[in-house]
Amino acid sequence: MKRVTRHRLFWPITALLTLVIVNTIARPQFIAITVRDGQLYGALIDILRNSAPLMLVALGMTIVIATRGIDLSVGAIMAVSGAVALTIIGGSEDPGDIGTVTVALAAALGVSLVLGAWNGLLVSVVGIQPIIATLVLMLAGRGVALLITDGFITTVNSEPYSFIATGYLLFLPVAFLIALAAIVIVALLERRTALGVLTEAVGINPEASRLAGVRSRGIIFGAYVTSGLLAGIAGIIYSANIRAADANAAGLFIELYAILAVVLGGTSLMGGKFTIAGTVVGVLIIQTLEATILFLGVPPAQSPVFFAVVVIVVVVVQAPQLHRWFRRRFTSGERSASDAKTKVEVA
Amino acid sequence: MATSVETRPKPDQGLGARYGTFMSRHSSLMPTFAAVAILIVLLIGAQMQFGNFLTARNMSALLLDNAYLVVLAVGVTFVILTGGIDLSVGSVMAFTGILLASLLAQGVPAIIAIPAVLLGGAAIGLMIGVLVQYFNVQPFIASLAGLFLARGLAFVVSLSSIKVEEPAVLWLQRTRFTIGEFYITPTGIIALLVVALAVYILHWTRFGRTVYAIGGGEQSARLMGLAVARTKILVYVISGVCGGLAGLLLTAYSGAGYPRNGIGTELDAIAAVVIGGTLLTGGTGYVVGSLIGVLVYGTIKKIISFMGAEQSWTQIIIGILLLLFIVVQRVIVARSARRRR
């Protein structure tokens, strides 16, 4: 039993299950999943589908945070990537053409890669603090996205493009499958090769790992490129879902939710050890909590209050100070006994 | 300061050497000088381009349009000087602004409503400070909780905007004291007073010097017996109160409270502080620099509206400027580190 509770995913998974159980008690149809026309339907499936953009962004954020960094620009990259894709599709002769959509996707992903590389360059080569280096793009990126869309909300009707967000494949939403594929690829790369260990080494002590022969510069650079690319995919899914490129609203606050998901999953912001499974659970907690808040009839705009409470509870529960205080509280009897004993011995 | 002995030039050396000494002795002032230089270049450039830019009306408006940002930037400067960061200020401004409008609409007199609103800002700052100091939460995450809390509370107070009709609040914006062609409203005076007060606190009080000491090295400050815990909490409270005051100014400026106000303003405030020459690692920087930073921001915004270009260029140019200043700071820090060796 102790081994189960000691597992680092114990508390995140408990929180997720509690949320699901509370929801199911409040409205039994929450847990129900029905099959219609070869597609799965249900509240849980919706949560999986809607979590795709946050899942992708949080995945990249996990890697960046593991290198002791942070990427604030993911929301802006999402906005840029959606704007690029939809501007190309909207400007073409035939928005429904697969070829057009492929070109648009390639362009959007290419731009995201470049933006990620820019962040990586500033952090790993120029040596600027990650918060500030990515703040630059966070500020400027949204402006770039607005310029691409001319300040308008570009809307397009393209079947193949919206398929990315709303389509189904093998009973499951395509958006979820994309997120799943990203999780599997990143997990394989990080956990089945030495990359994950090297990333953790860089995060725990950059100087020592450099002296030990780890190419920390390349690893940090790669982390930001990955984060940029994943944010680009998230931007495509987001814009495909609403069939519009909204440079102001796309990915707004997503960096904050992604960081929250990573922290909820048990990865420390101090860098080093990271858990991809934890981040996945963290994202699902956030998405389920959002569904719960919506179900309670709270206006979505007010939901940040709940997240604030969650953040505060999580960080306070994790705080070593509190643990020390509890230990002192509950073991004070034993301690004073042992103190007395040592005194006797000294005497 | 023993190292300065080696770099001291002989008296007969020329202007260049004296310039070099000045630079090396006052390297912490350099970024702020750079900000002043950029502001002057921007103003002169705009005047040459448009011909009617440096008018009294325009210059007065520059301060008044950005009064709320000045107050926010002052609060953030305190936090950044200790090596922390405060992401919550934009949301705190929105929350206090809408709270003020709502209280006034319910008939609460301004003399009670305004202090209540400032207390609200202080409470959120206190929460962030306690999380940072006593629960070892990183400032980034603690103030993120503050951001969420304040933004959500703003929408709890009201989902839509509330008009303000209280004469005392509107007086802040409508009254104009004219000095020749220039004019200033009470909101502008409040912003300048906040800057003056902050300069006094940071440079001539024990608390202010402790703020710098913590930014320079928290461990050393603690070993020197300075009140580190109290000071670190207080800077977040100050930032919260500044957020509350900015809420008052913005409400007076726009004549209404709106829960969507100030989305992303925390980034503008941080950018202004950095452009003004405060190092994000803490310990180095000036409040007056933050005022200059805000003015640079406001001037760029104004130039862009003069050119009739998209306002989104503001964000891009501020981003580029931010990058430029960070690189300059990076070079300065690297150089002074080399000198110390």
pLDDT for residue B121 is more than 90: yes
Contacts 24+ apart (CB under 8 A), B331-337: B332/B27, B332/B30, B332/B31, B333/B279, B333/B281, B335/B27, B336/B27
All residues of chain A having their beta carbon less than 8 Å from the beta carbon of residue B126 are none
All residues of chain A having their beta carbon less than 8 Å from the beta carbon of residue B149 are 304-305, 308-309
pLDDT of amino acid B5: 47
* Residue B128 near chain A (CB below 8 Å): no
pLDDT for residue A335 is more than 70: no
All residues of chain A having their beta carbon less than 8 Å from the beta carbon of residue B280 are 129, 131-132
A141 → chain B, closest CA residue: B316
Intra-chain end-to-end CA distance of chain B, in Å: 12
Residue B167 lies in a domain: yes
pLDDT of amino acid A144: 86
* Residue B159 near chain A (CB below 8 Å): yes
> What is the value of ipTM here, to two decimals?
0.75
Instruction: Name the B residues in 182-211 with CB < 8 Å from any A CB.
Output: none
- Comparing A215-224, A247-256, A279-288, B227-236, the range with the smallest average pLDDT is A247-256
Residue B340 lies in a domain: no
Residue B89 lies in a domain: yes
CB-based contact A37:A171 (threshold 8 Å): no
* Predicted model pTM: 0.82
Residue B75 carries which side chain, given as an amino acid letter?
Answer: G
All residues of chain A having their beta carbon less than 8 Å from the beta carbon of residue B327 are 126, 128
3-state SS of A196-209?
A: HHHHHHHHHCHHHH
What single-letter DSSP state applies at residue A249? T
Residues B149, A269: C-beta atoms closer than 8 Å: no
Structural domain of residue B186, as residue ranges? 54-262
Q: Phi/psi at A245 (nearest 5 deg)?
A: -105, 105
pLDDT of amino acid A263: 84
pLDDT of amino acid A56: 93
CA nearest to A72, candidates B85, B330, B332, B281: B85
pLDDT of amino acid A341: 44
Q: How many other C-beta atoms lie within 10 A of the C-beta of residue A286?
A: 23
Inter-chain contacts counted by CB atoms under 8 A, chains A and B: 129
Range A260-288 average pLDDT: 86
The residue ranking higher by pLDDT, A29 or B25, is: A29
Residue B321 lies in a domain: no
Distance (Å) from the C-alpha of residue A233 to the closest C-alpha of chain B?
23
| CA A64/CA A62 separation, integer angstroms | 5
pLDDT for residue B266 is more than 90: no
Distance (Å) from the C-alpha of residue A249 to the closest C-alpha of chain B?
11
Tell me which of B127, B130, B143, B144 to substitute to probe the interface with A (most A C-beta atoms closer than 10 Å): B144
pLDDT of amino acid B30: 75
Dihedral sign of CA atoms B242, B247, B253, B259 in order: positive
pLDDT of amino acid B1: 41
Residues A312, B145: C-beta atoms closer than 8 Å: yes
* Count of structural domains within chain B: 1
Residue B79, token pair as written in the block: 């936090």
Residue B213, token pair as written in the block: 């000491």
pLDDT for residue A40 is more than 70: yes
What single-letter DSSP state applies at residue B158? -
Instruction: Closest CB to B319: pick one of A137, A303, A322.
Output: A137
Distance (Å) from the C-alpha of residue A185 to the closest C-alpha of chain B?
29
CA nearest to A74, candidates A66, A63, A88: A63
Distance (Å) from the C-alpha of residue B111 to the closest C-alpha of chain A?
28
All residues of chain B having their beta carbon less than 8 Å from the beta carbon of residue A70 are 140
A146 → chain B, closest CA residue: B312
| CA A140/CA B200 separation, integer angstroms | 34
The residue ranking higher by pLDDT, B5 or A187, is: A187
- Report percent pLDDT > 70 for chain B: 89
| CA A103/CA B217 separation, integer angstroms | 52
Report the DSSP beta bridge partners of residue B183.
Answer: B178
Q: What is the pLDDT of residues B240-263, one digit of tens each?
A: 999 999 999 999 888 888 888 887
The residue ranking higher by pLDDT, B10 or B146, is: B146
State the DSSP H helix or E strand holding residue A247, giving kind and residue range, or none if neither. Answer: none
Q: What is the pLDDT of residues B158-195, one digit of tens each?
A: 888 888 887 877 888 778 888 777 888 888 899 999 99
pLDDT of amino acid B15: 67
Q: What is the pLDDT of residues A79-97, one digit of tens each?
A: 999 889 888 888 777 777 7
Instruction: Closest CB to B134: pick one of A301, A308, A321.
Output: A321
Residue B16, token pair as written in the block: 């260049």
Residue B19 lies in a domain: no
- Comparing A179-193, B8-22, B99-113, B237-251, the range with the smallest average pLDDT is B8-22
Residue B252 lies in a domain: yes
SS3 assignment, position B179: strand
Q: How far is CA A235 from CA A210, A240, B96, in A?
A: 34, 8, 33
Domains (range + CATH), chain A: 2-297 (1.10.3470), 306-347 (no CATH)
Residue B283, token pair as written in the block: 């310990």
Q: What is the pLDDT of residues A11-32, one digit of tens each?
A: 788 888 888 888 888 887 777 7
DSSP-derived secondary structure for B213-251: HHHH-HHHHHHTT--HHHHHHHHHHHHHHHHHHHHHHHH
pLDDT of amino acid B158: 87
Range A249-263 average pLDDT: 83
Distance (Å) from the C-alpha of residue A193 to the closest C-alpha of chain B?
31
Dihedral sign of CA atoms A187, A188, A193, A195 in order: negative
DSSP-derived secondary structure for A306-318: HHHHHHHHHHHHH
pLDDT of amino acid A4: 67
Residue A305, token pair as written in the block: 């209050």
Range B19-46 average pLDDT: 78
* Highest mean pLDDT pick, A41-50, A176-185, A202-211, B50-59: A176-185
CB-based contact A216:A56 (threshold 8 Å): no
Confidence class for position B336, pLDDT limits 50, 70, 90? low
pLDDT of amino acid B4: 46
Cα-Cα-Cα-Cα torsion B309, B315, B316, B322, nearest 10 degrees, comes to: 140
pLDDT for residue A75 is more than 80: yes
Q: What is the pLDDT of residues B61-114, one digit of tens each?
A: 888 889 999 999 999 999 999 989 898 999 999 999 999 999 998 888 888 999
Residue B149 lies in a domain: yes
* Residue B149 near chain A (CB below 8 Å): yes
Q: How far is CA A80 from CA A57, A143, A149, A274, A342, in A?
A: 14, 9, 9, 28, 67
Instruction: Closest CB to A304: pick one of B85, B152, B319.
Output: B152
Residues B136, A312: C-beta atoms closer than 8 Å: no
Confidence class for position A6, pLDDT limits 50, 70, 90? low
Residues B141, A133: C-beta atoms closer than 8 Å: no
Distance (Å) from the C-alpha of residue A308 to the closest C-alpha of chain B?
5
Residue B210 lies in a domain: yes
All residues of chain A having their beta carbon less than 8 Å from the beta carbon of residue B152 are 301-308
Residues A143, B274: C-beta atoms closer than 8 Å: no
All residues of chain B having their beta carbon less than 8 Å from the beta carbon of residue A314 are none
* Residue B131 near chain A (CB below 8 Å): yes
| CA B114/CA A317 separation, integer angstroms | 35
| CA A89/CA A172 separation, integer angstroms | 26
Residues A299, B155: C-beta atoms closer than 8 Å: yes
pLDDT of amino acid A331: 67
CA nearest to A283, candidates A312, A303, A297, A263: A263
Residue A6, token pair as written in the block: 């000691």
